Amino acid sequence: MLFLQASRCAPFAYTSVHARILQALASAVRADEPALLVGDTGTGKTSVVQHIGRLLGQEVLVYNFNEQSESTELIGGFRPVDNVMQLMSELVELFCATLEKSFSRRKNAKLLEKVRGDFLGRRWALALVL
């Protein structure tokens, strides 16, 4: 059984609705189960959870969501990565290494410099057109 000491708490109005919610949430906390509170704005959902947190001596973090909220606001998400830079880097290095193995590095120094310069300047079309 879960016993709560009211002496550690800020004032809280124990209405019949809040008593039922407190009982359900206390059962969920005791069973280590998640709980989802749904209802109109201003009905006391956050206050009930904060009250239980105070009773249990636990910190409660409040996140306010609305219809436009997305899951990434809570759990994060994927950000686009610059794969073009990685792919072009590999392609340019393969090209330069192959050219240096196959032909004179000294005679092709300007070409290698131009290809690497176009790559670093993100001028992909120029780096690819040979």
Is 74 strand, coil or helix? helix
Domain ranges of the chain: 6-75, 83-128
Other Cβ atoms closer than 10 A to 1: 4
**According to the model, what pLDDT value does residue 39 have?**
85
Tell me the per-residue pLDDT of 39-76, one tens digit each, with 9 for 90 and over: 888 888 888 889 888 888 999 988 887 888 888 877 87
**According to the model, what pLDDT value does residue 2 have?**
45
**How far is 98 from 126, CA to CA, in rounded Å?**
19
Which among 84, 107, 108, 106 has a CA at the least distance from the CA of 95? 108
CA atoms within 13 A on the CB side of 108: 15
Which among 14, 58, 20 has a CA at the least distance from the CA of 39? 20
Q: What is the pTM of this model?
A: 0.47
Tell me the per-residue pLDDT of 33-45, one tens digit each, with 9 for 90 and over: 998 888 888 888 8
pLDDT band at 128 (very low <50, low <70, confident <90, very high): low
